[in-house]
Copies of this chain bind each other. A is one copy, B any other.
């Protein structure tokens, strides 16, 4: 497709998270004509800012009049454009009707995908339910546990088309907070990676999770005393935090059929970690399942 070709979508799919907004120009059949993104995530917008941010991103695409837009993610949270209340597990990932945004001009008909909640232990998701719906659309009759690594990693037990239970881990956010806002920041600079250090820390903490607390400061002391490379320390911290997550999530993955939905780099780490435990996880492209889920939501209208 050349740059001058007209983009004439039938509807718009949006993945509108905390930090980013991504838009897909879709056909009725679920094909993607074009894709755009911006950094106007939920966290950077006031309630009145959502519609202008959306118009700005869609500018130039030739939309049908009163164009249907289906959005998942934090856009539907209390701090988002409008709250789309959670559905409680057990439930299908798209179990209740989408919520129409009331406060929007006639040019757009915006629908929000409700999140999913679990009352006890208390847990919530927004956006992942759409990826799960997409995964099930692409893999009908699949039963097992879906792992969605990320800022807030989730482990989701899926059976007979329903989300049975799930658990969230702040692994990615802990890595970021520890890397940027503790004394370890001095010892974790750069982006280099030591795969052996990752594997060692992973296996150490997975088998002895109580060691997590004592393993952190040793990254700083190892730098001060032995000039330990930051590539080693970064990989060790990542291995320790993912090891702690896997130790806690063991009831979710032990002896289960596992699929991983996430960005490649992180999915590689989780896939390796599960492989060490004798589990070969199915890998899925996160963007593909998100679009498939938004298409399933569109078809439910």
Contact = CB atoms under 8 A, between A and B. Distances in A.
A273 to B, nearest CB: 13
Interface in A209-232: 209-214, 216-218, 220-222, 224-226, 228
A225 to B, nearest CB: 5
A22 to B, nearest CB: 21
A191 interface: no
A250 B208 CA distance: 13
Interface in A180-218: 180-184, 209-214, 216-218
Contacts of A184: 170
The 5 closest A-B pairs by CB, nearest first: A209-B210, A122-B221, A168-B217, A210-B247, A214-B248
Contact of A210 (B178, B183, B226, B248): B248
B214 A167 contact: yes
Contacts of A214: 121, 167-169, 248-249
Interface of A: 78, 86, 117-119, 121-124, 152, 167-171, 173-174, 176-178, 180-184, 209-214, 216-218, 220-222, 224-226, 228, 241, 244-245, 247-250
A184 B245 CA distance: 18
